[in-house]
Amino acid sequence: MTQPIREYRTRGRFAVDLNFDGGEGADDAALMRSVSTVNIACGGHAGDERSMRRVARLALKSGVAICAHPSYEDRENFGRAPVALSPAAIEGLVKRQVEALRNIVRDEEGQLTGVKPHGALYHAAAADGTIAAAVARAIREVSPELVVVSSPGSKLLDAARALGLAVAAEGFVDRGYEADGSLVARGTPGALIEDPADAARSALAIVFERTLVARDGQTIPVAADTLCVHGDTPNADAIAAAVRKALVDAEVIVRSLRGWRPAE
């Protein structure tokens, strides 16, 4: 049973990143007030040069780290439908999108911190070693300094480590989980957590207990270095604010992925 929010207290021994997916049509400025890292859509499922520059400027002004959020080039399905592509094609699209954002961030006198794939590409790279290797190669070609973000136990994290890249495991505070650790499919009851207090409790459970309660009631392991709020979740800005407040009240250090290196 997850503890009430007020029962979590520490003395700075816990730290976590709080990220959101930006440049997708949500209120980026409102969300930026609560997070430490933003993943900017870079032309696949959403975004263009103008939106990438706008969100990058917001992030740099707010002191928020910037990650690229590449995806299948499928705006019709918002990048959330599987697409059959060769490893070479996947490597190419990831490299193009990450480079496009990297160049804009450089032009704005900032630095790209990492890469978190979006939607169907995120899940495909987590489950399929061949796709994971293609994504990791593309990221490494852009820069060996980029942090790779994916779900705990993801094959993308393994592929990135094999290439010497830093990795960060991600937990979702606004999504429900199945007993096998996968996310509840969108459109299914329990897929979204829209209540800010519930999302805050999920965040604290991940940080302090490294677990969550799945849709069927089982307690499952969820160990994460970064926590995500989706910009298109209803009430996203209130969710992000509640999660940030709960973490700060519990004396958790909220730090970005900038310069992140996992513990050995």
What global pTM score does this model have?
0.93
* Torsion angles phi and psi, residue 86, rounded to 5: -70, 160
Q: Of 176, 186, 94, 178, which Cα lies nearest the Cα of 131? A: 94
Given this structure, which CATH class describes domain 5-254?
alpha beta
CB atoms within 10 A of CB 249: 14
* Predicted local distance difference test score (pLDDT) of residue 207: 96
Q: Which helix (H) or strand (E) covers residue 90, if one does?
A: helix 87-107
Q: What is the pLDDT of residue 10?
A: 54
Structure tokens, 100: 């496009």
| CB contact set of 84 (below 8 Å; sequence gap of 6+) | none
In sign, the C-alpha dihedral spanning 142, 146, 149, 154 is positive
Nearest to 150 by CA among 136, 130, 134, 164: 136
pLDDT at residue number 225:
97
CB 9 within 8 A of CB 63: no
Measured distance CA(54)–CA(51) in Å, rounded: 5
Q: 225 by DSSP, 3-state: which? A: coil
- For 232-256, the DSSP string reads TSTTHHHHHHHHHHHHHHTT-EE--
Given a contact cutoff of 8 angstroms between Cβ atoms, the answer to whether 197 and 6 are in contact is no
Determine the 3-state secondary structure of 10 from DSSP.
coil
Residue 2, pLDDT score: 47
pLDDT recorded at residue 261: 81
Q: Where are the domains of the chain?
A: 5-254
How high is the pLDDT of residue 263?
Answer: 61
pLDDT < 70 regions, the chain = 1-12, 263-264
Residue 112's beta-bridge partner residues? 66
- In tens, the pLDDT along 204-256 reads 999 999 999 999 999 999 999 999 999 989 899 999 999 999 999 999 999 99
pLDDT score recorded for residue 264: 52
Residues 236 and 246: their CA atoms lie apart, in Å, by: 15
Q: What are phi and psi of 197, to 5 degrees?
A: -65, -40
* CA triple 156-176-136, angle to 5 deg: 10
